[in-house]
Structure 1
Amino acid sequence: MKKILLILALVGSAFNSFAQTKDELDAEKASKNDSIAAIQGRVDAIQAQIDALPGWKVGAFGTIGGSFSGFNNWYAQESPNNSAGTIGFTVNGFANRNESKYFWRNALTLNLNWVKFDDKDDPDDQSGFRQATDVF
């Protein structure tokens, strides 16, 4: 019995001796965050130098969207029973040039939309997609 208690005590102390406390982990995390902050500061300084260089800078972004709606006995509009769906996308691009004595800014916006309108009270209604708001 004494041997079993001795073995359990040794095993328990072995597990306990390798455990880290929360304070030790917090101290290690703080030192790592300081290292990251120092490196990030150097990266930001290099990025600022790159951004200050003259020349063309180009980029683009866009969105895709859609909506669906259905109305039943909605008498505030011309067709009280209808369903509609729209789909569209937008692309915005730019090309800018910065020099020491001048700058040049270019922008492009392309917005295309299609709408599908289905009047449920009109059997002759064509329910295909039609072109809607377009911007160039």
Structure 2
Amino acid sequence: MAEPKRFPKAVFSQGEEPDARFSLANERTFLAWIRTSLALLAGGVALEALGLGIHPGYRLAASILLILSGTVSAIQAWSGWKKTEQALRKSSPLPSAPFSLPLAVLLVSVAVLILTGILLA
């Protein structure tokens, strides 16, 4: 019986199959990043759609940064899943999350914009 094709081939064609518990934990982490991405995207859309008595320029800037943060989170989800799965398959050290710091900076910027927008409204 032929082995089923798995996507992405660049990940599954390397190393050995890790313990399923680790692959499933990696998948749960991927899904957590995706949920975070969806929440950030929804927050950006809602902030602009609802207005909420925030100075329009600051509200728009915060909305754009939230949508950008959601996009960065989705990229982190895929990148993190892929690099972690490759490390598991090769029995090498697990990678860090390279987009965590930029994401934190974006979210602090959003908080500052919203706070300033409320104070100036």
Same fold by TM (over 0.5)? no
Which structure would you say has the larger RCO, counting Cα contacts within 8 Å and 6 or more residues apart?
A: 2
Short-chain TM bin: under 0.3
| Structure (1 or 2) with the greater strand fraction | 1
TM-score of the two chains, using structure 2 as the length reference: 0.28
* Normalised TM-score (structure 1): 0.26
Higher helix share: 2
